[in-house]
Structure 1
């Protein structure tokens, strides 16, 4: 019966996609570029296809988060975005960030691992998972694209993309300052100033600070999951002629504190000696648990980027690029059973990735039957790392971020990688042609060539179990190694779009995606590939007050890169990345926005996802098992969002109340689908009340988030013979606070 209901849902969704293209007889057929009638829905301009277009006319499944929604939700980093993008999942692997879209993700967070969801800031691509949860402030919008983006966005976008667009300099002077206070001793500030120096030079400077105590009480350690961050940005826009503009940007961000913490829960065993993988009771509800003191995180990011456009009459030539330097240091307990002699096992991680982005693109005008663009892309990242797996025999004697005047600890494993390289080159093109005024076909291709190497790597290790049982240290030093890997692939895009009326669009598309192969200290793994079919429809009805968007999709996912236990040549068990055989994903989503009156707005989103392995042999409990039928990681069958907003006029000002909730059905954090790593279905709700003064001179907002105070996993790791514990990380608990913004 469950399968029948799912089939009916997808069938009804497909029927809705087709039927929604039939225009209502009372449909207003004025141009969607015109201003919306009073009380209607405004059009949003996006650059999801690397050229300006109206979101409702872009033939792609995407969610657009406006600057108003970002401010209202108090978005401060990428993790906060997931509350506004229902098909986007967020999780942590230690300090590393994992983003999932429609069940597609990458948990290979080592130095040469690639994300499956592309994250870019003003077109600048972010590679390292350490830097993905970047500070977000003074934004124009965020575009969350669902499905493979292998042609235009390319770089490992097998799952989708998050395009983050900052606010740019404008022609008028403006400024704003925001202060925020909340529980967990939150104190945050944001601000910007926009200065039009003259008609050719414009300047915009912005900043943010955020200080918050940790969500977890971890005595004898300091409270973990804290936030202490600073960031600033300077945009300088030159417009020497009517044809030419140049945007220069400098950005700095800093983060420190305790960082992410892992709660260890002691392993339980069955009478036969096997690990008990049933549901675990979380002591202290994830809010109070002991951690050895001394852990810290410190991250500094420096980013310089540029974007220039020149009008050639027949087309526009664009060159964007930049350089980013990331300095990262982290010492953290690894989540071993706190009541054992493994409690002070730590990982000391130091990295210095430096990356370059370059893209040269030629784009035709958008008002001709043939619309095209073609470009060249180059990405290069160099990194040097030192990682230490250590044991501190004296509790509380971890090093500090600046010095270590303590016991140095016992180095059980030393990984030195002085020369890591990740390089990607690509050539791409995409074109669409209007067969009629309403019907357009398009196609595109991208050739990507990727290269990785790890030269002069040194690994010095002792037998951990022997050390823990006897205290004996017997280092085995492997000679310096050199590993090189190259991979390449051509990905394709084909689509047909039918603009039935100016406010009704029907589209169908086919895409392929590719994520380059790589290697860990244990083995080499190959590229992963995805093939996607999608149909969708975007519509406005009832005099532009009701927006109804639908999409349905089918993915064939081959050679997915999955972290799992592998059998070592010595016969032991280790953790590495391998290529799973195949997966099948299908489903659909429906997105509704209804401006019932000028003062009432309803938002609804629903998605169904069937994501299952169809062929995956993995090592489970020391032997190979076929896991076909298991769910992919972080792939709930059902996701729903609902929001209601009402504006109460108060004199010349107004009070806006917003209620919103998010529901997910159960999902798993490992492919074994154990009950111990399951995130049960949950509902998380928010309340936001805002007073806006006359002429928007100032705003005062109060909020409560995660009203239910639900314990929600951000990671779960069940099987670990080294740490003898189930290990969990969590999302934010209930938070509340107030924010005051003054506009100048």
Structure 2
């Protein structure tokens, strides 16, 4: 059983300038209750479990988007409550045909229900009253929506495992994944297309516009895990392939909203089902105990390494350009997914009196990372490496320890995320510059290109005591 509740208030200054231009004060309220029951079975060669899972989650959001430099006192206020209720039954069993060969099979049936209440109201003369503003309602709500959607899916899993000896394991697996659909709490209902041409946006048309479909994936993996050299070397190697469809892509864009018949610049959230994507790659891990025949008893010198390669590509990415569905997959990247990652940790542990001393150093590296699906040379991060190190003394019987640690020792500057509201070519995503050579704003007068960086060099001491 689990229960969690949290709330927060976050003033977000998208343009990072003194002017009130794309300033977003926001409240977030979340509460969730989950319950899981499991029955585990151990009947000789057959082992496994069956279970039931339930989740009841509530996510309430309220925020202003203040565009005072675009239109004096213009605010787009959003109040969105999105609730999720999920049930699932599942089972997973492994049968050992012999000490060497095993087969596993499992499945999960999920029922999702999403309920949404979304209000989008424009104000003039200041921020919304919810955030202490003096603004007055300007026109009818851009969104006044209540709706419900249900999703259900069976997702299976299969695997086979062969152990020629207890130290070696070769395996292959297949599984299907499912992420439920829902409603975009930041969407603008008045921008929904008039599908039946009657000049009135019906509730069904608004629901279709704000909704996004479930995402599904078929995943395949083959691999090997084993101990070599009498246990001195552990190796794990895996190859994987994942085929996605209806990929859910969250986004925030500048848009125009008709308020009282007046085209008004504003902020719109868009969660779309881009289409298809394919991930394939390799992963390698190892742990080697070095020089064990040359060290004194109790000494331990280890080298841990990890290398990952992933080729992640959109095979179909449908977006609406001028009212025409267009496949722009050739110009889109999978965000926050570097093609290469690698790390290595060299550590040494030795007895000191009746205690022990540990010294270790880690170097990690990742190749170029795209922050969003549309490449952006201002906020995308090229490849970089980080260096960490630690020295820790542990007292006899593990009663207390004292450590000195360094992270990002070379004080590398690297971007981890960002915001972008600048004009770009709708197909290629190329940024459009103005006559002065700067990016053209798409929301607010100055436009927004903001990058957030990882932590700088950190050196700190830790101490632990066990009672």
TM-score range, shorter chain: 0.7 to 0.9
TM-score normalised by length of structure 1: 0.50
> Once the two structures are superposed, what CA deviation does each residue of 1:513-570 show, in whole Å capped at 9, x if it has no partner?
0100011142211001111110011101222221101110011011110023677786
Which residue number corresponds to residue 675 of structure 1?
A: 377
Matches within 5 A, 1:105-120: none
Which residue number corresponds to residue 433 of structure 2?
A: none
CA distance in 2, matches of 1:592, 1:501: 19
CA distance in 2, matches of 1:434, 1:630: 45
Q: Is the 8 A contact 1:600 1:646 kept in 2?
A: yes
Which secondary structure does the structure 1 equivalent of 2:378 belong to?
A: helix
Which secondary structure does the structure 1 equivalent of 2:230 belong to?
A: coil
CA distance in 2, matches of 1:625, 1:434: 48
The Cα shift of 1:739 comes to 1.3
> Once the two structures are superposed, what CA deviation does each residue of 1:399-426 show, in whole Å capped at 9, x if it has no partner?
xxxxxxxxxx967132234x53211111
The Cα shift of 1:639 comes to 0.4
The Cα shift of 1:586 comes to 0.3
Which secondary structure does the structure 1 equivalent of 2:155 belong to?
A: strand
> Once the two structures are superposed, what CA deviation does each residue of 1:464-519 show, in whole Å capped at 9, x if it has no partner?
99xxxxx9976123274212111111111011011221111111000110100011
Q: Is the 8 A contact 2:157 2:176 kept in 1?
A: yes
Q: Is the 8 A contact 1:564 1:618 kept in 2?
A: no
Q: Is the 8 A contact 2:284 2:307 kept in 1?
A: yes
Which residue number corresponds to residue 703 of structure 1?
A: 405
Of structures 1 and 2, the one scoring higher in RCO (CA 8 A, sep 6+) is: 1
Greater C-alpha Rg: 2
The Cα shift of 1:454 comes to 1.6
The Cα shift of 1:379 comes to 0.6
TM-score normalised by length of structure 2: 0.78
CA distance in 1, matches of 2:359, 2:460: 15
The Cα shift of 1:453 comes to 0.8
CA distance in 2, matches of 1:519, 1:496: 39
How many residue pairs match? The answer is 399
CA distance in 2, matches of 1:743, 1:445: 43
Which secondary structure does the structure 2 equivalent of 1:695 belong to?
A: helix
Q: Is the 8 A contact 1:627 1:672 kept in 2?
A: no
Q: Is the 8 A contact 1:613 1:629 kept in 2?
A: no
Match of 2:54 among 366, 374, 378: 378
**Aligned CA distance change for structure 1 residues 333 and 434 (closer, same or farther; 3 Å):** closer
Q: Is the 8 A contact 2:14 2:419 kept in 1?
A: no
Matched, 1:442 2:122: no
The Cα shift of 1:726 comes to 0.3
Which secondary structure does the structure 2 equivalent of 1:668 belong to?
A: coil
The Cα shift of 1:694 comes to 3.0
Which residue number corresponds to residue 203 of structure 2?
A: none
Matched, 1:453 2:115: yes
**Aligned CA distance change for structure 1 residues 331 and 351 (closer, same or farther; 3 Å):** closer
Matches within 5 A, 1:179-218: none
Matches within 5 A, 1:612-631: 612-618=313-319, 626-628=328-330, 630-631=332-333
Q: Is the 8 A contact 1:350 1:385 kept in 2?
A: yes
CA distance in 2, matches of 1:635, 1:654: 39
Which residue number corresponds to residue 529 of structure 1?
A: 216
Matched, 1:342 2:36: no
Match of 1:364 among 38, 41, 45: 41
Q: Is the 8 A contact 1:489 1:514 kept in 2?
A: yes
Which residue number corresponds to residue 504 of structure 1?
A: 168
Which residue number corresponds to residue 413 of structure 1?
A: 76
CA distance in 2, matches of 1:486, 1:333: 33
Which secondary structure does the structure 2 equivalent of 1:592 belong to?
A: strand
Give the root-mean-square deviation of aligned CA atoms.
3.0
Match of 2:3 among 323, 348, 356: 323
CA distance in 2, matches of 1:569, 1:374: 50
Decide which structure has greater strand share.
2
> Once the two structures are superposed, what CA deviation does each residue of 1:332-391 show, in whole Å capped at 9, x if it has no partner?
13221516x335x432322332211111221101x6211221111111113444333347
Which secondary structure does the structure 1 equivalent of 2:231 belong to?
A: coil
Which secondary structure does the structure 2 equivalent of 1:718 belong to?
A: strand
Matched, 1:428 2:86: no
Matched, 1:555 2:242: yes
CA distance in 2, matches of 1:351, 1:331: 8
Which residue number corresponds to residue 544 of structure 1?
A: 231
**Aligned CA distance change for structure 1 residues 630 and 664 (closer, same or farther; 3 Å):** same
CA distance in 2, matches of 1:707, 1:524: 46
The Cα shift of 1:733 comes to 1.1
Which secondary structure does the structure 1 equivalent of 2:20 belong to?
A: coil
CA distance in 1, matches of 2:374, 2:420: 10
**Aligned CA distance change for structure 1 residues 629 and 481 (closer, same or farther; 3 Å):** closer
Match of 2:389 among 687, 702, 711: 687
Which residue number corresponds to residue 140 of structure 2?
A: 477
> Once the two structures are superposed, what CA deviation does each residue of 1:562-585 show, in whole Å capped at 9, x if it has no partner?
023677786978331100111111
Which secondary structure does the structure 2 equivalent of 1:649 belong to?
A: strand
Which residue number corresponds to residue 30 of structure 1?
A: none
**Aligned CA distance change for structure 1 residues 322 and 740 (closer, same or farther; 3 Å):** closer
Q: Is the 8 A contact 2:316 2:327 kept in 1?
A: no
Q: Is the 8 A contact 2:331 2:374 kept in 1?
A: no
**Aligned CA distance change for structure 1 residues 588 and 436 (closer, same or farther; 3 Å):** same
Q: Which runs of 5+ in 2 are unaligned?
A: 127-133, 188-209, 293-298, 423-441
Match of 1:722 among 433, 443, 456: 443
CA distance in 2, matches of 1:549, 1:430: 24
CA distance in 1, matches of 2:322, 2:463: 54
CA distance in 1, matches of 2:302, 2:361: 11
**Aligned CA distance change for structure 1 residues 701 and 652 (closer, same or farther; 3 Å):** same
CA distance in 1, matches of 2:400, 2:8: 40
Which residue number corresponds to residue 200 of structure 1?
A: none
CA distance in 2, matches of 1:647, 1:337: 47
Q: Is the 8 A contact 2:362 2:387 kept in 1?
A: yes
Q: Is the 8 A contact 2:161 2:171 kept in 1?
A: yes
Q: Is the 8 A contact 2:228 2:234 kept in 1?
A: yes
Which secondary structure does the structure 1 equivalent of 2:388 belong to?
A: strand
CA distance in 1, matches of 2:396, 2:110: 53
